[in-house]
Amino acid sequence: MTGYTEKIREIAARLLTEGKVDRVIGFRKGTVPMMNQPHYVTSPAMAGELIWDSHCGLNLANYVTDRKERIGIVAKGCDSRNLVTHIIENKIKRDQLVIIGVPCTGMVDRSKVCALVEGEITSVEESDDAITVSGNGFSKTIAKTDVLRENCAVCTHRNPVIHDEMVGEPVAEQTGVDAYASVKKVEALSPEEKWNYFEDLISTCIRCYACRNACPLCYCPTCFVDESRPQWVGKSQDPIDVRTFHLLRAYHCAGRCTDCGACETACPMGIKVREFTKKLNKDCFELYGWEAGLTLDKRPPLDVYKTDDPDDFIR
Amino acid sequence: MKLIKIDKKSLKEGIDKLKRTYGVFGPVREKDEFEFKALGAAEMPDFSFSNTRMSPKAIVYPQTQLMFTYSLNDADDDCRILKEVPMDERPRAVIGIRPCDALAFPLVRRNFDTPEYQDTFWVKAYEATTFVGLACNVPCGTCFCTSAGTSPFGKEGLDVLLVEDGDDLFAEALTPKGEALLETAGWTAEAGGGAEEKITALAATANEQISSTVAFDNIKNREILELYNAPFWEEEGFSCINCGTCTYVCPTCWCFDIQDETYGKSGVRMRNWDTCMSPLFTLHASGHNPRTKKVERVRQRFMHKLKYYVDKYDNGIQCVGCGRCVRLCPVNIDIRSICNKMNNFDSEACKCETASS
């Protein structure tokens, strides 16, 4: 995956030179280790600013919502699925996009890496399957598979599902992973244990809404938590309101979430907010055989009514 | 300078004594991160931290603060009269606050405690608090306190400064409040000769380790509109997702929003931290919003901290260099880069560039 940077730059420069797009959206190198920044370039000379490594965990589909120009966009598997969702939901037109597909072997969870070393990490180097982190008096090489983000560890759609360019050969898809193992663990708990589990999960929430805002699905002009006429949710740290936010946010993503993990990557408090959305992904899979963003030809299950929709839950 | 020495044993004894007089707050490990918390009877502050994830501003200025209660029941004598919620005005002590975070309190005070207006909630809590700092022997790569008005061993805003020397601590009282705290804790053993030199050497080593800086010497002399209209905002603001992380983790962000919550016939008036990153921050009752675009909101945050504040108070920038926003911004917007960009911005050069391209 480390060789992708050159290829991305080459494609971006070509698309801009040929006038096929007005801008290319990708990542640029961040100012702190293991952080990259969503970025756009508008001229071939700027293409060299784009990079790719295992710290591109945000979802770039979030940056094309309702844009009017022609856009080249760098997209790993999950980003491409959110582009599909965006196209279906009329948030961008297919012919506005040149999708630069990135076969992905997963993004790294910064907090997992930091937990493996004592001291501050000041530099990071990456090879195909390992990263080496160094700081004052230490250097450690870590297998990437040991520090993948949890959504990446169970991802079965690493290759872009839709693309106009590809920066490399498709990678092997993971098989034999249980995508819903974490949900099953929670499902097995008693109601009281579940309650305590979720109370603890969101106990540090500061309601910054980074999870919501990093999500490509959350594009409502006014979010229900921001609405004041009527005001649906209180704005304080009252646990009832904090819970309401998390549960409703998740439900609004039902049948649309691609488990890209941007929400969890963005959370400054390290809250595993995917625990909510993942349950709904599992329900959609079991009820409708549905995984979001895999095809442009089918509407999401909660968008349509079918006579054979499961209705066992109605009692 | 009178220096006190506190060994491990007397640290524990002293903190136990302090708990009888003060509500004691200190850094504790919580889910892999450190936060300032009120210490329970058996709890000790954990000094193995670099800094806490959230700033300690909430000790004086909680994220949600009840201000008033009211009744809407006509049968009540005090119907529709706001009654102030009694505040906990007992003395509190923050043990182990870093010098950057300590500087944030006098900085924020310029807003909450002026000759014309006093925010009584903030002022009462601030006055009840004794700030016991812990010098930073090992600053981190995102720290830039030395260019933001303090240093790893800075004293401004503190009542006591503690310096770690192996297992021992040196303490210096900086104010009468600090002297009273040391007295209450029974920390009175004078440090022997050489302590002062030791501290000077530790401070010098710490200062040398600060690897990042910001410059803002040119910003004051620039026209507001020159910076406001600078072309770099579009590019720098692009990645922003408009979450409130930077403002909520910031020790110097002071904005709040007042909300009434009514339950049946009674209710509370409260204030909650607000964030200029949210479109709601500037939404008028008429429905008009003067700051509809995210890039305008990104610009507002930096213009406030690095230009409007500088112009209004003539006392440096509204930033203490703690680096929390740098570390926690989900999209890596870095105040250091933005500050330097604002400082180096040359609108003339920019015009030429535009004209020739």
Q: What is the pLDDT of residues A31-52, one digit of tens each?
A: 999 999 999 999 999 999 999 9
Q: Are residues A230 and A267 both part of a single domain?
A: yes
Q: How many Cβ atoms from other residues are within 10 Å of residue B111's Cβ?
A: 17
Q: Which of A28, A39, A200, A213 to probe by mutation at the B interface, max B CB count within 10 Å?
A: A213
pLDDT tens profile A75-122: 999 999 999 999 999 999 999 999 999 999 999 999 999 999 999 999
pLDDT of B243 over the 50 cut: yes
Does residue A162 share a domain with residue A41?
yes
Whether B355 shows a pLDDT value over 80: the answer reads: no
User: Between chains, do A63 and B238 touch, taking CB under 8 Å as contact?
Assistant: yes
Contact A74, A27 (CB under 8 A): yes
* A97 and A198 part of one domain: no
Compute CA B148 distance to the chain's CA centroid, rounded to the nearest angstrom.
Answer: 13
Give the Cα separation of B129 and B57 in Å (integer).
Answer: 12
What string of H, E and C letters represents the secondary structure of chain B?
Answer: CCCEEECHHHHHHHHHHHHHHCEEEEEEEECCEEEEEECCCCCCCCCCCCCCCCCHHHHCCCCEEEEEEEECCCCCCCECCCEECCCCCCCEEEEEECHHHHHHHHHHHHHHECCCCECHHHHHHHHCEEEEEECCCCCCCCCCHHHCCCCCCCCCCCCEEEEEECCEEEEEECCHHHHHHHHHHCCCCECCCCHHHHHHHHHHHHHHHCCCCCCCCCHHHCCHHHHHCCCHHHHHHCCCCCCCHHHHHCCCCCCEEEEEEEECCEEEEEEEECCCCCHHHHCCCCCCCCCCCHHHHHHHHHHHHHHHHHHHHCCCCCCCCCCHHHHHCCCCCCHHHHHHHHHHCCHHHHHHHHHHC
Q: Which residues of B touch A265 (CB under 8 A)?
A: 330
Compute the nearest-CA separation of A176 from chain B (Å): 31
HSE of A169, CA atoms in CB hemisphere, 13 A = 2
Please say whether the dihedral angle defined by the alpha carbons of residues A99, A100, A101 and A107, taken in this order, is positive or negative: negative
Instruction: Using a CB–CB cutoff of 8 Å, tell me whether B272 touches chain A.
Output: yes
Interface test with A, best of B331, B333, B334 (most A CBs within 10 A): B331
> Looking at the complex, does the CB of residue A213 fall below 8 Å from at least one CB of chain B?
yes
CB B51 within 8 A of CB B98: yes
Last residue within a domain, chosen from A148, A177, A206: A177
Closest-approach residue (CA) in chain A for B357: A43
Q: What is the DSSP letter of A41?
A: E
Token readout for B34 is: 């450190």
**Domain ranges, residue A244:** 178-302
pLDDT at A229: 82
Chain-chain contact of A234 with B261 (C-beta, under 8 angstroms): yes
Measured CA to CA, the distance from residue B277 to residue A208 in angstroms comes to 10
Contact B259 A235 (CB under 8 A): yes
Task: Report the C-alpha gap between B140 and A163 in whole angstroms.
Answer: 41
| pLDDT attached to residue B225 | 96
Cα distance between residue B272 and residue B80, in whole Å: 22
Average pLDDT over residues B284-294: 94
**Statement to judge: residues A172 and A263 lie in one domain:** no
Tell me whether residue A212 is in a domain. yes
Residue A196: inside a domain:
yes
- Residue B222's alpha-carbon distances to A93, B303, B344, in angstroms, are 43, 12, 10
B278 and A31: CB-CB below 8 Å? no
**CA of B331 to nearest chain A CA: how many angstroms apart?**
5
* Dihedral of alpha carbons A72, A75, A81, A85, sign: negative
Task: Tell me whether residue A165 is in a domain.
Answer: yes
Residue A169 belongs to some domain of the structure: yes
| Contact assignment for B239 to A234 by CB distance below 8 Å | no
Same domain, A34 and A165: yes
Q: How far is CA B173 from CA A79, B5, B176, B183, B250, in A?
A: 56, 12, 8, 10, 27
Place of tokens 């109605």: A314
A46: distance to nearest CA of chain B, Å?
12
- Which two three-digit tokens encode residue A48? 């060299």
Residue B147 has pLDDT above 70, yes or no: yes
pLDDT score of B357 = 38
What is the pLDDT, as a whole number, of residue B351?
Answer: 59
CA–chain centroid gap for A29, Å, is 18
Mean pLDDT of B73-83: 97
Residues from chain A that touch B30, judged by Cβ atoms under 8 A, are 204
Residue of B157 and B357 predicted with greater confidence: B157
pLDDT at A311: 87
Kindly state whether residues A162 and A242 are assigned to the same domain. Answer: no
Cβ neighbours around A23 below 10 Å, total: 21
Q: What is the pLDDT of residue A80?
A: 98
Where residue B235 falls among pLDDT bands split at 50, 70, 90?
Answer: very high
pLDDT of B354 > 80? The answer is no
Asked which of A142, A177, A212 is the last residue of a domain, the reply is: A177
Answer yes or no: do A80 and A186 share one domain. no
In whole angstroms, give the CA distance from residue A266 to residue B215. Answer: 29
Query: How many Å apart are CA A79 and CA A85, to the nearest integer?
Result: 10
Whether chain A has a CB inside 8 Å of the CB on B33: the answer is: yes
Nearest alpha-carbon partner for B40 in B51, B62, B24: B24
What is residue A314's predicted lDDT score, i.e. its pLDDT? 85
A209: which chain B residues are within 8 Å (Cβ-Cβ)? 243-244, 278
- What's the mean pLDDT in A155-178? 97
Identify whether A131 is part of a domain.
no
Q: How many Cβ atoms from other residues are within 10 Å of residue B295's Cβ?
A: 16
Q: Name the average pLDDT for chain A.
A: 96
Q: Do both A171 and A237 map to the same domain? A: no
Residues 6 or more apart from A34 whose CB is under 8 A from it?
A55, A108, A110, A113, A121, A124
The per-residue pLDDT for range A185-235, each reduced to its tens digit, is 999 999 999 999 999 999 999 999 999 999 999 999 999 999 988 889 999
SS3 A74: strand
For residue A100, the SS3 value is strand
pLDDT above 90: residue A169: yes
Our CA-based measurement puts residue A236 at a distance from the nearest CA of chain B, in whole angstroms, of 6
Do A203 and A71 share a domain, yes or no?
Answer: no
Q: Is residue A238 part of a domain?
A: yes
Q: Facing residues of A133 across strands?
A: A124, A140
Q: In this structure, what DSSP letter does residue A108 have?
A: B
Tell me, rounded to whole angstroms, the distance of Cα A87 from its chain centroid.
Answer: 17
**Do residues A163 and A186 share a domain?**
no
Domain end (from A177, A207, A234): A177
B110-137 residue pLDDT tens: 999 999 999 999 999 999 999 999 999 9
Q: Is residue A122 part of a domain?
A: no
Residues of chain B with Cβ-Cβ distance to A228 below 8 Å are 280, 283
C-alpha B91: how far from chain center: 20
The answer to whether A257 and A280 are in contact (CB under 8 A) is: yes
Number of domains in chain A: 2
- Residue from B92, B148, B94, B97 nearest B124 by CA: B92
Question: How distant, in Å, are the alpha carbons of B28, B149, B250 from that of B322?
Answer: 18, 11, 8
Beta carbons of B238 and A40 less than 8 Å apart: yes
- Dist CA A269 CA B248 (whole Å): 11
Give chain B's mean pLDDT: 95
Asked if the C-beta of A59 comes within 8 angstroms of chain B's C-beta atoms, the answer is no
Q: Are residues A43 and A162 in the same domain?
A: yes
CB–CB of A208 and B63 under 8 A?
no
Answer whether residue B352 shows pLDDT above 60. no
The reply to whether A283 and A197 lie within a common domain is: yes
For residue A60, is pLDDT > 70?
yes
- The pairing of strands A97-102 and A71-76 is parallel
Give percent above pLDDT 70 in chain B.
98
The mean pLDDT value for A114-133 works out to: 94
- Given CB atoms, is B179 within the 8 Å cutoff of chain A? no
* Domain-located, residue A270: yes
Burial B141-158 (b: 16+ CB within 10 A, else e): bbbbbbbbbbbbbbbbbb
CA angle B146, B147, B149 (to 5 degrees): 75
Closest CB to B249: pick one of A122, A214, A268.
A268
